[in-house]
Structure 1
Amino acid sequence: MSRTGAAPKPGIVHLGPGAFFRAFNAVFTEDAMAAEPGDWGIVAVSLKSPAARDQMAPQDGAYTSVTLGPEGAEYRVIGSVVRVLVAPEDPEKVLEAMCAGTTRIVSLTVTEKGYAHEPSTGRLNLKHPDIAHDLAGGAPRSAVGFLVEALARRRASGLAAFTVVTCDNLPSNGPLLRGLVLDFARARDADLAEWIAAEVAFPATMVDRITPATTEADIAALESAQGYRDPACVTHEPFRQWVIEDRFPTGRPAWDRVGAQMVTSVEAHETMKLRCLNGTHSTLAYLGYLAGYETIAETVADPDFARLCDRLWAEEIVPTLEQPEGEDLAAYCAALLERYRNPAIRHRTWQIAMDGSQKLPQRILGTLADNLAAGRESPGLVLAVAGWMRYVGGVDERGEAIDVRDPLADQLMAAWDGAEGAGAKASALLGMREVFSAELAGALQAPVSAALELLLDAGARAAVKERVQ
């Protein structure tokens, strides 16, 4: 397998070349350059692992995008990535790419935990090991550290700032990242912070395409179908949606010509997606995993779990939303359930359950807070929080260990293990201020304790069944 035609000249540096980037950003950019030619090739940067580079470099950056629909698979070679760098191996080379005169956009898909912030406050965690290292003046390790160092160098050399485009599932992700960058810059150089505040655009975005982690079975299926092996391949659903705040002072690819929605405000779309899709995805992940279901499709094949989704949307989530421009909320939710049911997409509950301490505040806790303020009950979302607690306790309903992947995993398990009984365990986890504000924790103590007791006594399937009766 190889790219078709010459590689495009680079114009974008992207931090985080994981499966979602390859299934979404890189495909959109390839389509945009086909619709309107331009120098928008992507230099992809891994901030941690060399895996993506090791997979893609022998293929000159090309890889296969596999669209999995209910009626079969479609295969396409993507060539928008021109180079893959590994930051820990050569951070200076990464900074050189970010400071190139041709680089006009730096984008990110580093997951919620990659922002080194405190989800409960939205502020930069200055004590995070990578942030503390970067502020001490070493070669950058964090995404925020790389952004600030590159912008400082561009300012010093008289180059225009690049536009910073975050594509992670964070509320008001553009303004949030701007705040984190400014927190870091102020701790380093007040004048630099003022320049960034005045010169750098941080457009907000909303991204949506279900993208399971690639497995060896996926790689083998591609080889069987197409006759070549591609360890960098990605699988994804047919659906995709990209809503982008149109603020790009130095230009952008023609994403709008290939389906992206360029808007003046992303907030309503973003909240819709975070709460309707990501909120129910996390609910299904924790409760579905505890119930013994491996994938989302298997989970919603259980009528009680499908009813739980419908009830969450109708009674607990949609009432908290503003109407996004051009969206039919009822139709959007109905389409979500059909997407979840796609049997070709094996999106593992365990994968979605990762990093829950970083995801819960924007996916579920914001909705709960709005419902509490409005005097509405949220029995389904409360059960989801209890499911997360049961999950991070590290032992499933069959007494088997759960592989909990979370930056706070040790603290979460210690809180669970150090308390006896549902009420005490709920209190211990609600006391983690990295996740729950004091006010929300107080309001949730009684309902979450009751839901956790139900889970511990009856199990996830019975608990879900009781909540949807």
Structure 2
Amino acid sequence: MTGLSNATLHTLPPEVLTPAYNRKEVSAGIAHIGVGNFHRAHQALYIDRLLGAAGQSSWGILGAGIRHGRREEVRADAFRRQDGLFSLTEFAPDESRTIRVIGSIVDYVSCVDGYEAIIDRLAAPEIRIVSLTITEGGYFVDSEGRFQVDDPFIAEDLKRDIPQSAFGLVTEALRRRREAGAGPFTVLSCDNLQHNGRVAETAFCGFAEARDASLAAWIRGNVSFPSCMVDRIVPSVSDDDIRRLNKASGIDDLMPVYSEDFIQWVVEDKFCAGRPEFETAGVQLTGNVEPYEQVKLRMLNAGHSILAFSGLMMGYRKVDEAMSDNGIVSLLENFLNEDVAPLLSPPEDVNLSSYAAQVLHRFRNHAVGDQLERIASDSFSKLPVFLSETVTELLKTGRDIHRVAFALACWAECEAGKDGKGAVIKLSEPAATDKERSVFHDSNLLAVLDLPIFSGWGIETNKGFRDAFERYRSDLRTKGPAEVIATL
């Protein structure tokens, strides 16, 4: 197999698509914090597309790795050895595939080399956009919309002369740019959060306020925080996946990534320091992202989570396996069309019935084979984003709550660690405390609903919902998930 670098691009197998531009002519105008699989299969692909258009060569990506650890060391080494190149394999539901090498990440700076180096690069005037994928729970904004300056991680970072958090690094870079007269840059959150631009503004301005009120005022008056909606299913990549993907591509790639063939990016057109010609790459620009966010988060993301919870309880571990179960498919169809769709106000170009059908079609993609445990993990961050508004509105309008009560009962049982067949389920919950995790083993099956993540949902005092939830948790244990799903 051929190694991957600038020097080997012209020697790759002919079926592998390579960048349609000269990488030597590309410079970084975008810095991205959190260069994980999703960014590389989504935003990096869009930028790769537009770099082939005339006049766009200054919009390459500078990747920034800010989380110390072995994983970052390996990633930084791979980026350097491969000149920032990596392969992306896109799988269609009919199992056809497209393999391409992405060349848009033209440089990489890592905390391995020190956080000062990251600040220097962000402060450089050629950087005009700083984008982020730091996960739904990574913004430290509470349910009341307040930045959590008292969180131990944030409090410690505020004391450092050279910060290490995304908020500290960006605000320090902006401080230096203000002093040098270099002007602001746009901060673009690409995480699965409704109003993610607003959340990002709260977080970054909250951090700046705690350090320097005048800097916070300057940021509020000069920095743009556009919202955007991102959509693509991108599984995690195991060692077996690396061998499989490299065998198919003929490339000895240290960090291949794969995804479905569907992709969407809707961006609020609000950029204080200029932007690429996103239109040339298929990005949808709009003055109002919210309707797109609402549909995606409450249908696709919530549906994905419900599929994961119910599928894991049934003993499945892959999305396509769970989608072969008629009971689960019926649960999802009814949730999307009867519980969620009537509560939404979609954009004019979105038909909710067609959208729901497309979601189910995407979930059936056997070639992607996403992991249910990955999707179900970090639910302490995801559930308030994906499901809270639907549950709240169902309760307020007196609509059927049984499917969402069942879904949350499945989630609670998954967190307790066993599926309906007694096999172990391993979920990662970085946003949960040990005390919160212990609640799933409480003899009081309702104790879960008193967790802080459910604050404001309306379920803490709704007897009908609580009764249904308790009954479903009990029935999942005594009757089994298949029999309970059949009753829905």
1:460 to 2:478 alignment: no
Match of 1:441 among 438, 442, 460: 460
Structure 2 residue runs of 5 or longer lacking an equivalent are 10-21
SS at match of 1:441: coil
Residue 353 of structure 1 and its aligned partner are, at CA, apart by 1.0
Equivalent runs, 1:359-370 vs 2, <5 Å: 359-370=382-393
* Alignment partner, residue 133 of structure 1: 156
Alpha-carbon distance in 2 for matches of 1:299, 1:145: 42
Conserved 8 A contact 2:391-2:457: no
Alpha-carbon distance in 2 for matches of 1:130, 1:147: 16
Conserved 8 A contact 1:285-1:296: yes
* Alignment partner, residue 6 of structure 1: 23
Equivalent runs, 1:49-64 vs 2, <5 Å: 49-50=71-72, 51-64=74-87
* Alignment partner, residue 142 of structure 1: 165
Conserved 8 A contact 1:18-1:52: no
Q: For 1:222-256, what per-residue CA distance to the aligned partner results, in whole angstroms no more than 9, with x for missing partners?
A: 32223221121110111101000000121112221
Residue 126 of structure 1 and its aligned partner are, at CA, apart by 2.2
Match of 1:39 among 58, 63, 85: 58
Equivalent runs, 1:424-439 vs 2, <5 Å: 424-426=444-446, 428-437=447-456, 439=458
SS at match of 2:460: helix
| Equivalent residue letter for 1:81 | I
SS at match of 1:13: strand
Conserved 8 A contact 2:374-2:427: no
Conserved 8 A contact 2:384-2:453: no
Equivalent runs, 1:378-397 vs 2, <5 Å: 378-397=401-420
* Alignment partner, residue 85 of structure 1: 109
Conserved 8 A contact 1:17-1:52: no
Q: For 1:359-406, what per-residue CA distance to the aligned partner results, in whole angstroms no more than 9, with x for missing partners?
A: 000111121112212221222122111111111122333444432201
Residue 188 of structure 1 and its aligned partner are, at CA, apart by 1.9
| Equivalent residue letter for 2:30 | I
* Alignment partner, residue 227 of structure 2: 204
1:143–1:336 Cα change, 3 Å: same
SS at match of 2:445: helix
1:141–1:387 Cα change, 3 Å: farther
Equivalent runs, 1:99-248 vs 2, <5 Å: 99-118=123-142, 120-248=143-271
Q: CA RMSD in A?
A: 1.7
Match of 2:306 among 283, 291, 303: 283
Alpha-carbon distance in 2 for matches of 1:148, 1:448: 44
Match of 2:47 among 2, 24, 29: 29
Conserved 8 A contact 2:33-2:131: yes
* Alignment partner, residue 302 of structure 1: 325
TM-score, with length taken from structure 1? 0.94
After TM superposition, the structure 1 stretch with the greater mean CA deviation from structure 2, 445-454 or 334-343, is 445-454
Q: For 1:328-357, what per-residue CA distance to the aligned partner results, in whole angstroms no more than 9, with x for missing partners?
A: 111111111111111101110011011000
Residue 88 of structure 1 and its aligned partner are, at CA, apart by 5.5
1:138–1:429 Cα change, 3 Å: farther
Conserved 8 A contact 1:219-1:229: no
Equivalent runs, 1:268-417 vs 2, <5 Å: 268-407=291-430, 408=432, 410-417=434-441
| Equivalent residue letter for 1:6 | R
Residue 214 of structure 1 and its aligned partner are, at CA, apart by 1.4
Residue 87 of structure 1 and its aligned partner are, at CA, apart by 2.5
Alpha-carbon distance in 1 for matches of 2:107, 2:406: 45
Alpha-carbon distance in 2 for matches of 1:446, 1:123: 33
Conserved 8 A contact 2:193-2:385: yes
Conserved 8 A contact 1:99-1:153: yes
| Equivalent residue letter for 2:46 | F
Match of 2:122 among 98, 106, 115: 98
Alpha-carbon distance in 2 for matches of 1:355, 1:62: 29
Alpha-carbon distance in 1 for matches of 2:109, 2:479: 49
Conserved 8 A contact 2:308-2:319: yes
Alpha-carbon distance in 1 for matches of 2:186, 2:262: 27
Q: Report % sequence identity.
A: 34
Alpha-carbon distance in 2 for matches of 1:195, 1:83: 29
Residue 460 of structure 1 and its aligned partner are, at CA, apart by 2.5
Residue 132 of structure 1 and its aligned partner are, at CA, apart by 1.1
Alpha-carbon distance in 1 for matches of 2:333, 2:412: 23
SS at match of 2:89: strand
| Equivalent residue letter for 1:18 | G
Conserved 8 A contact 1:52-1:84: no
Structure 1 residue runs of 5 or longer lacking an equivalent are none
Conserved 8 A contact 2:315-2:423: no
